[in-house]
Amino acid sequence: MKNPNFGNYLDDFKVGDIIKHTARKTILESDNNLFTLLTMNHHPVHLDKEYCKNQQHGQILVVGTYVFSLVVGFTVADISGKAIANLDYEKVSHDGPVFIGDTLHAETEIIDLRGSRTKPDRGILYVETRAYNQRNDKVLTLRRHVLIPVKGTKNEE
């Protein structure tokens, strides 16, 4: 059985709204290590404390694609929980470093929305998500288009 309260319909969004996501996560060393293993990103800046001592930040950097994936995950309950598809990701920027022990949170601004030109039971939501660490330093920004059903249509299940 689907959770009827998970996600939102296109009709629930309004241009200009900013949704502060409740999900947050403290990055553990094991999170970063597992992600580097899964994705075969073995750059020493993500794994080797001794190597990092002589690099710009002096400590291990969390893999940027992990940060991206985590932040998108934060948004699912509010943005794409009822989505038919994520259509694209664009303008991904790593605005600041993320380190082991940082706690991330995010917010999403509704930039635009429109009905589908070919299927009236759905529409496209355009959003910008910004992620911050525990000091409220911005660490990631991304924009994406999400295909979402309209309330009261056959896609409303």
Residue range 20-79, pLDDT digits in tens: 999 999 999 999 999 999 999 999 999 999 999 999 999 999 999 999 999 999 999 999
Residues of the chain by 3-state class (helix, strand, coil), percent to 5: 25, 35, 40
* C-alpha to C-alpha distance for 22 and 60, rounded to whole angstroms: 27
Residue ranges per structural domain of the chain: 10-149
pTM comes to 0.91
- Give the architecture (CATH level 2) of 10-149: Roll (3.10)
Helix (H, G, I), strand (E, B) or coil at 137: coil
Q: What are the DSSP E strand ranges found in the chain?
A: 18-20, 25-26, 85-94, 103-115, 122-132, 138-149
H or E segment to which residue 73 belongs: helix 64-75
Residue range 73-130, pLDDT digits in tens: 999 999 999 999 999 999 999 999 999 999 999 999 999 999 999 999 999 999 999 9
Rg of the Cα trace of the chain? 18
Strands 122-132 and 25-26: unpaired
Look up residue 47 and give its DSSP letter: T
